[in-house]
Amino acid sequence: MAGEARVGLYYAPLPDDPLFAASCAWLGRDPVSGAPVGQPDLPDIAGITADPRLYGFHATLKPPFRFRDGVDWFGFVAAVRDMARGIAPFDLPPLAVTDLRGFLALTETTPSPALQALADACVAEVDAFRAPPSEAELARRRRSPLTETQDRMLTRWGYPYVFETWFFHMTLTERLTPEAQAFWLPAATRFFAEAIAAPRRVSDICLFTQSAPGAPFVIAERIALRG
C-alpha cells in the first residue's frame, strides 16, 4: 500500500449477521465486493447515503491513515494480528438509530468498556505505521470547532475523536435538516428494527482500504480477536 492509499481499522458486522445485509441495502453497496446493492424504495435515499456509502458501513476504531515511509502492508497486518491476540471477543451492546449531530447513525444504547478499550488499542498500538497528516488535512479538520482536548488529539494522533473524545457510531446518512430528520429517523428506525434486535459479538477487526482519494473503501481483511 503506497502513495495516497489509506487504511482504517473498523468494526463491521460479519457477513452472516442480518445487520450486514441490511446495511448493504441501506447504503447501496457491499463493502466486501464493492458491488452496488439495491436500496429501499424511499425518496432520495441514494442522495442522503452518498457519503457513508463511500466509506462502507462501519464504526471507526482507528481512523484512515496513509503509511509512513519504510513500512509495508505485511508488517502492518502482522502488527494488527499481534494486537488482536491479546483482545478477547465481547458482546456489542444493543444498538439504536439516533440523531448524531444532525446525522443518523446506529449507536450503542449503553456504554461498553470493552469497546472503548478496543478502540484505544487500535489507535495506539499500530500508530508507528501512520504517516502524519498534512497541513492541509489539519486545516480541514480545524474548520469545524474543536475543543482543546480534540485539537490535542488531532495533533498527536491525526484525528480529533480518539480516546476520551471517541464515540461509537455507524453512520447512515449525510447531515440532515430538521425537516428531513422528521422523515428519515422513523424510516431508518423501521428499516433496521429487525436487524438490530439480534444479539452480536465483536469478534474481529476489519481493515478497510481506500486505493486513492475519492475511491470507495472496501474490506481488505478481517483479523480475529483471540484473547
Check residue 188 and give its pLDDT.
98
Residue-wise pLDDT for 156-204, tens only, equals 999 999 999 999 999 999 999 999 999 999 999 999 999 999 999 999 9
54, amino acid identity? L
pLDDT at 136 over 90: no
Q: What distances in angstroms separate CA 227 from CA 14, 35, 82, 84, 116, one per listed residue?
A: 19, 34, 10, 7, 16
Cβ neighbours of residue 190 under 8 Å, at least 6 residues apart?
A: none
Cβ neighbours of residue 193 under 8 Å, at least 6 residues apart?
A: none
Examine residue 1 and state whether it is found in any structural domain, yes or no: no
Q: How confident is the model at residue 144 (pLDDT cuts 50, 70, 90)?
A: confident
Q: What distances in angstroms separate CA 211 from CA 12, 170, 179, 218, 219, one per listed residue?
A: 19, 22, 36, 9, 12
Question: What pTM was computed for the model?
Answer: 0.94
Q: What range does the domain containing 192 cover? A: 6-224
Examine residue 85 and state whether it is found in any structural domain, yes or no: yes
pLDDT at 4 over 90: no
**DSSP at 106:** E
Q: How many structural domains comprise the chain? A: 1
CA distance 61 to 184: 26
Q: In what order do the strands lie in the sheet with 103-108?
A: 95-100, 103-108, 170-171
Q: What is the CATH number of the domain that holds 18?
A: 3.90.1140.10
